[in-house]
């Protein structure tokens, strides 16, 4: 019950944010249109000057960067800031006479981009992007405050607004850090609790089996009776293990947190990866909801987690990552993670790290995928970048039970 409600809440939040962005972009475009056509009685409108057209193009570029900005695309913020500085320099070199410069919509757009630059402070290409954006915001006033005596007050207002934006961006950055630390603490607590549970019931039942085996060796009892008692203790241990695994898979247990991972948590995994500065997107086929066995969902989650970890460690120069979990035929699931980076080289500098045997994580991942009846491939993409893909059955393969028994 909690999972559908949380999914509906997530969709509603995304819809609200999308509508808010549409409203902001529409307002910026209206401001740009009004600014380019308005003028005082003794002035000519800005659209009569070619310099103003350059400034309008710069404003449209800044609005476009804000519209399509995603975490990991901070280079576009740098491009918008440098373009704004160039437009301001052009306005200073070429005197437009009685024509006022254009820059209000651009100023507002750069202020919004300043928020992202501070929030993603450490993301590529570096912290200098925030300083360049701040410089563009502060110097853009030279185009706007042409009336005598307005420059000082207007610059002070811009400075106060920019400091507010910087403070809010720093607050969002601290909240992102706190969220990551909280998630790590929850995972650590889950692992410790799982270790304690495993120790308690395994030690209890295995100790009982050992005692029964020892008693059967020294006591004058029927060996079949001793074997039956050991079998009963072993079945009790298996039943206890099944109860614990069932509890871990229950959506309502432990506040709905599944330490094994499932399809619903893949999107959160990609979102955390995105907040760390990479441009990552995720698509999960809606028809897979409730149609995949828990072990398969946990394996798909493990594939995505391992692939994203490899991208962070080994994909040099990667700027985009695409995660897709889609139905493959009637009984299969295709999980793929693709990036546009260059594979890290081994120490000998001859072959990619994953091909030289250094990727031990892929070895364990392949074993896990094959254990549920799936197939894994990790290879260089012809168009560049790396792909980690797995085909998984929607239900656990029956051969897995035979393999486990052997």
Q: What percent of the chain has pLDDT over 90?
A: 25
User: Which of 61-70, 89-98, 362-371 ranks highest by mean pLDDT?
Assistant: 61-70
What value does the mean pLDDT of the chain take?
78
Q: Report the C-alpha gap between 191 and 293 in whole angstroms.
A: 22
Higher-confidence residue of 187 and 85: namely: 85
Average pLDDT over residues 196-219: 68
Residue 19 tokens read as 């509508």
| pLDDT 10s digits, 295-307 | 788 888 889 988 8
Residue 124 tokens read as 């590529």
Torsion of CA 314, 317, 318, 320, to 10 degrees: 170
Give Dmax (Cα) for the chain: 117
Instruction: Check pLDDT > 60 for residue 286.
Output: yes
| pLDDT 10s digits, 89-119 | 888 888 666 667 788 999 999 999 999 999 9
Report whether 297 contacts 285 (CB < 8 A).
no
pLDDT at residue 154, rounded to an integer: 83
Report whether 313 contacts 284 (CB < 8 A).
no
pLDDT at residue 134, rounded to an integer: 93
165: left (phi over 0), alpha (psi -120 to 50) or beta: alpha
Q: Report the C-alpha gap between 91 and 398 in whole angstroms.
A: 73
Higher-confidence residue of 196 and 19: namely: 19
Q: What percent of the chain has pLDDT over 70?
A: 75
Q: Distance of CA 345 to CAs 261, 350, 402, Å?
A: 31, 7, 39
Q: Which fold would CATH assign to domain 263-405? A: Heat Shock Protein 90 (3.30.565)
């Amino acid at each position: 019950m909690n999972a559908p409600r949380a999914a509906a809440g997530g969709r509603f939040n995304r819809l609200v944010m999308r509508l808010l962005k549409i409203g902001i972009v529409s307002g910026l475009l209206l401001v740009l249109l009004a600014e380019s056509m308005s003028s005082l009685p003794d002035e000519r409108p800005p659209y009569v000057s070619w310099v103003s057209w350059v400034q309008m193009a710069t404003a449209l570029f800044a609005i476009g960067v804000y519209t399509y900005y995603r975490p990991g695309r901070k280079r576009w913020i740098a491009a918008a800031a440098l373009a704004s500085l160039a437009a301001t320099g052009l306005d200073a070199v070429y005197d437009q006479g009685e024509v006022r410069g254009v820059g209000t919509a651009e100023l507002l757009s750069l202020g919004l981009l300043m928020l992202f630059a501070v929030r993603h402070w450490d993301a590529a290409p570096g912290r200098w992007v925030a300083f360049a954006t701040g410089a563009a915001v502060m110097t853009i006033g030279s185009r706007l405050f042409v009336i005598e005596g307005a420059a000082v007050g207007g610059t002070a207002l811009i400075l106060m607004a920019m400091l507010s934006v910087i403070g809010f961006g720093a607050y969002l950055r601290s909240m992102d850090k706190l969220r990551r630390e909280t998630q790590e603490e929850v995972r650590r607590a889950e692992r410790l609790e799982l270790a304690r549970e495993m120790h308690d019931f395994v030690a209890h039942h295995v100790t009982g089996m050992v005692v029964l085996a020892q008693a059967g060796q020294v006591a004058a009892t029927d060996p079949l009776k001793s074997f039956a008692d050991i079998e009963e203790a072993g079945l009790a241990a298996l039943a206890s293990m099944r109860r614990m695994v069932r509890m871990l898979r229950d959506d309502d247990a432990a506040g709905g947190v599944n330490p094994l991972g499932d399809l619903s948590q893949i999107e959160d995994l990609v979102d955390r990866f995105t907040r760390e500065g990479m441009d990552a997107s995720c698509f999960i086929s809606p028809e897979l909801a409730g149609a995949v066995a828990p072990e398969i969902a946990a394996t798909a989650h493990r594939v995505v987690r391992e692939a994203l970890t490899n991208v962070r460690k080994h994909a040099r120069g990667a700027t985009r990552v695409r995660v897709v979990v889609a139905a493959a035929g009637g009984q299969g699931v295709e999980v793929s993670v693709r990036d546009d980076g260059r594979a890290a080289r081994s120490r000998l500098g001859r072959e990619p790290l994953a091909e030289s045997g250094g990727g031990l994580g892929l070895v364990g991942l392949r074993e896990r995928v094959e254990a549920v009846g799936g197939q894994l491939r990790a290879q260089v993409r012809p168009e560049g970048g790396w792909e980690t893909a797995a085909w998984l059955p929607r239900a656990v393969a029956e051969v897995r039970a035979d393999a486990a028994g052997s």
